Amino acid sequence: MENKKVIPVVLCGGSGSRLWPWSRDGYPKQFLNLQGNHTMLQETILRLGEHVDEPIMICGEEHRFLVAEQVRALGSRHNGILLEPEGRNTAPAIALAALHAIEQNEDSMLLVLPADHVILDKAGFQAAIEEATNVAQAGSLVTFGIVPQSPETGYGYIRAGKQKNLAFEVSNFVEKPDQKTAQQYLDSGDYYWNSGMFLFRAKRYLEELQQHRPEIYRACQEAMANTDKDLDFIRVERNAFLSSPSDSIDYAVMENAQDIRMLPLDCGWSDLGAWSALWEIADKDSQGNSSSGNTIFHNSNNCLVRSADKLVATVGLDDVIVVDTVDATLVAAKDSAQDVKAVVQQLKESSSKLLQNHRKVYRPWGNYDSVDEGERFQVKRIVVNPGAELSLQMHHHRAEHWIVVQGTALVTKGEEEFLVTENQSTYIPLGTRHRLKNPGEIPLELIEVQSGSYLGEDDIVRFEDHYGRAGDE
């Protein structure tokens, strides 16, 4: 591994809906700090060690700036951020990464990792990568099987065959079992949880994909033949990629290919598929309670409480989950944590904005917090990062008043350009082209009061944008 031919491929898609209301479509769990000092995506990068190359990141258009900023915040570099026009599951996503990798080095090997897993034993994980690399160099496709700790019904399983050194031949992959079958798997000692992590030669993966799912291979090859570089991002050709069927790597390749090896992994792994899974790995007090934020427990045991703002107190509760944000609160029995998906489904059916974003929304230039709203008005607290600027834009249905609280704003209004400093304000009439920029070295903070007949974020017409955005991004 001295020449760093192993390129991590970090899959940054997914909505993490079972961790609602902290995880939402616009800001899903992989971008959240749920355990430790970094987000899940950042932890995925940090645990890789020094013996692998810089990672290829794969995400959708909506999350591209989150990915770029979280990598930048680590002081890390990447091998490209590949943008999927729409999600097509893992088999096409990994094909894009494989085609990108062999452009740099035909002998590249890929270490495929979801961005939203927890691994507590980093040294054990790095040792497993080294062993898996040795197996993959001989041409095998390697999958990592998690040593099961319980009869889990939420995971698929891998049945181990004959052992060769530290790896096993894969006898077969099996679907998520019921409770009785899961217990039989655990008792047998032959089954491992399917982690969704893999290591193999990029060319070998593409050969298997071409053989078993040629339509996916062709679509991805065409998509990568016509890419468009934009800042940190590599946009693949949209129509070609959308012609690809949607399929997982398991169904498209791993269940059909020959010479599949499984390497057991016992390193404190969790996919944090529900709030109860976070309770399992979290630090707890002497009564088994785990908390973050402003919380008080009284006569309560084995609870998980997360507060983003206000005080949350529990009295006489056992095995309960309470997750509080500024605009939504979840209270659930711990053994029903998987059923949060039913709440998410109801929100989806009602087109609730509580499914998409938090009240505080992040943009590539900073963030805004919608602190109050009524029928014809909305009040936002806007923070613009030093040197950043919003797009040159206009609105058909609203006017805006800006009051600067901190810093200095460079305002474009029609043909005018002028500075607005602390305790000063300006007014942007409906239909006027305007832009806001922070020319200073400290964050610009202002209060925006919108008034008009329609206040949705999709009432933005962009004329120029430094970030290549469209619509209400």
Q: What is the DSSP string of 270-298?
A: E---SHHHHHHHS---TTS-EEESSEEEE
Question: Which element (helix H / strand E) includes 403?
Answer: strand 398-406
Q: Cite the beta strand spans of 252-365 per DSSP E.
A: 260-265, 269-270, 290-292, 295-298, 304-307, 312-315, 320-324, 329-333, 360-363
Q: Do domains 6-270 and 360-464 have the same CATH topology?
A: no
Query: What is the DSSP track for 428-446?
Result: E-TT--EEEE--SSS-EEE
pLDDT at 230: 84
Task: Specify the amino acid at residue 63.
Answer: H
Listed in sequence order, the residues at least 6 apart from 138 whose beta carbon sits closer than 8 Å to its beta carbon are none
Output Rg (C-alpha) for the chain, integer angstroms. 24
CB atoms within 10 A of CB 104: 14
pLDDT tens for the chain, residues 1 to 473: 344 589 999 999 988 899 999 999 999 999 999 977 899 999 999 999 888 999 999 999 999 999 999 999 999 999 999 999 999 999 999 999 999 999 999 999 999 999 999 999 999 999 999 999 999 999 999 999 999 999 998 899 999 999 988 999 999 999 999 999 999 999 999 999 999 999 999 999 999 999 999 999 999 999 999 999 988 899 999 999 999 999 999 999 999 999 999 999 999 999 999 999 999 999 999 999 999 999 999 999 999 999 998 999 999 999 999 999 999 999 999 999 999 999 999 999 999 989 999 999 999 999 999 999 999 999 999 999 999 999 999 999 999 999 999 999 999 999 999 999 999 999 999 999 999 999 999 999 999 999 999 998 889 999 999 887 765 55
Pick the CATH number of 360-464 from 3.40.50.150, 2.60.120.10, 3.30.230.10, 3.40.50.1820: 2.60.120.10
What is the torsional sign of CA 440, 444, 446, 452?
positive
Q: Could you tell me if 252 and 212 are in contact, meaning their C-beta atoms sit under 8 angstroms apart?
A: yes
pLDDT at 270: 94
CA 168 to chain CA centroid, Å, is: 31
Question: Of 304, 285, 315, 241, whose CA–CA distance to 91 is shortest?
Answer: 241
> How far apart are alpha carbons 273 and 34 in whole angstroms?
12
Task: List the chain domain ranges.
Answer: 6-270, 278-346, 360-464
> How far apart are alpha carbons 244 and 223 in whole angstroms?
10
- What are the tokens at 142? 């390697």
Q: Could you tell me if 427 and 434 are in contact, meaning their C-beta atoms sit under 8 angstroms apart?
A: no
Q: Could you tell me if 441 and 386 are in contact, meaning their C-beta atoms sit under 8 angstroms apart?
A: yes
Question: Of 103, 145, 128, 115, whose CA–CA distance to 52 is shortest?
Answer: 128
Q: Could you tell me if 108 and 101 are in contact, meaning their C-beta atoms sit under 8 angstroms apart?
A: yes
Listed in sequence order, the residues at least 6 apart from 336 whose beta carbon sits closer than 8 Å to its beta carbon are none
pLDDT at 441: 96
pLDDT at 2: 45
The fold adopted by the segment(s) 6-270 is: Spore Coat Polysaccharide Biosynthesis Protein SpsA; Chain A (3.90.550)
Helix (H/G/I), strand (E/B), else coil: 138:
coil
pLDDT at 3: 46
Interstrand relation of 290-292 and 260-265 (parallel, antiparallel or unpaired): unpaired
> How far apart are alpha carbons 236 and 241 in whole angstroms?
7
pTM greater than the 0.85 cutoff: yes
DSSP state of 252: I
In total, the chain counts a number of residues equal to: 473
Task: Specify the amino acid at residue 115.
Answer: A
pLDDT at 349: 96
Listed in sequence order, the residues at least 6 apart from 74 whose beta carbon sits closer than 8 Å to its beta carbon are 38, 42, 45, 46
pLDDT at 4: 57
